[in-house]
Amino acid sequence: MSNKPKKDQKHKMGYLGAYTADNIESLKIQAKSGGIREYFIEGAAEDRAVDCSHRREGILFGCVHWGRKRSVAQFFVIRANYGGKDVFVATPLPLDPDRHIDGKGIFKEPRFGDESAKRLLDDLVRINPENRLELELIWAAYEKRSRT
């Protein structure tokens, strides 16, 4: 079985650490100074950061966790990034895996399809109307590029 994602599984959820005041403040500062360039990947003894800024195939969402253990934690989506547009939302959205990421786990199968990505953006807009234009521009840029 191939580890490559299915062609329609273009979008990805990245993990940005714990939902703590210090971490959120640090992420906000990074977002204001040109974008968050790192995502934390689970798996090593310590989480390690990797540069995902070059990613072009789909929208890259960012989430944080609330709770002591990630395996039982609630995850919140706080960011969307695509085509040079980087949006850090004011109100984190509780992640609903069935609705937002094709029912997959964040760490095992983090890629998901267009319908889930659109629902995720729509839900982010619903609770972050101040980010409506920026989030709609992300979807428009993705659709334009995916048609070419």
What is the per-residue pLDDT across 87-137, written as a single tens digit (0 to 9) for each? 889 899 999 999 998 888 776 666 899 999 999 999 999 999 999 999 999
Q: For residue 137, is it within any domain?
A: yes
Query: Which residue type, as a one-letter code, is found at position 68?
Result: R
- Kindly state the average pLDDT of the residues 63-68: 81
pLDDT for 56: 57
pLDDT for 5: 46
Q: 12 with 60: CB under 8 angstroms?
A: yes
pLDDT higher than 80, residue 143: yes
Residue 44 lies in domain: 11-147
pLDDT for 28: 77
Give the per-residue SS3 of the chain.
CCCCCCCCCCEEEEEEEECCHHHHHHHHHHHHCCCCCEEEEECECCCEEEECCCCCCCCEEEEEEECCCHHHCEEEEEEEEECCEEEEEEEEEECCHHHHCCCCCCCCCCEECHHHHHHHHHHHHHHCHHHHHHHHHHHHHHHHHHHC
Q: For residue 2, is it within any domain?
A: no
pLDDT higher than 50, residue 62: yes
Query: Which residue type, as a one-letter code, is found at position 14?
Result: G
Answer with the residue of higher pLDDT: 40 or 19. Answer: 19
pLDDT higher than 50, residue 50: no
Terminal alpha carbon distance of the chain? 29
Q: For residue 18, is it within any domain?
A: yes
pLDDT for 147: 78
Q: For residue 103, is it within any domain?
A: yes
pLDDT for 23: 83
Q: Residue 93 corresponds to which tokens in the numbers above?
A: 């959205």
Q: For residue 3, is it within any domain?
A: no
Confidence of residue 21 (pLDDT cuts 50, 70, 90): confident
Q: For residue 15, is it within any domain?
A: yes
What's the mean pLDDT when you consider all of the chain?
79
Q: For residue 6, is it within any domain?
A: no
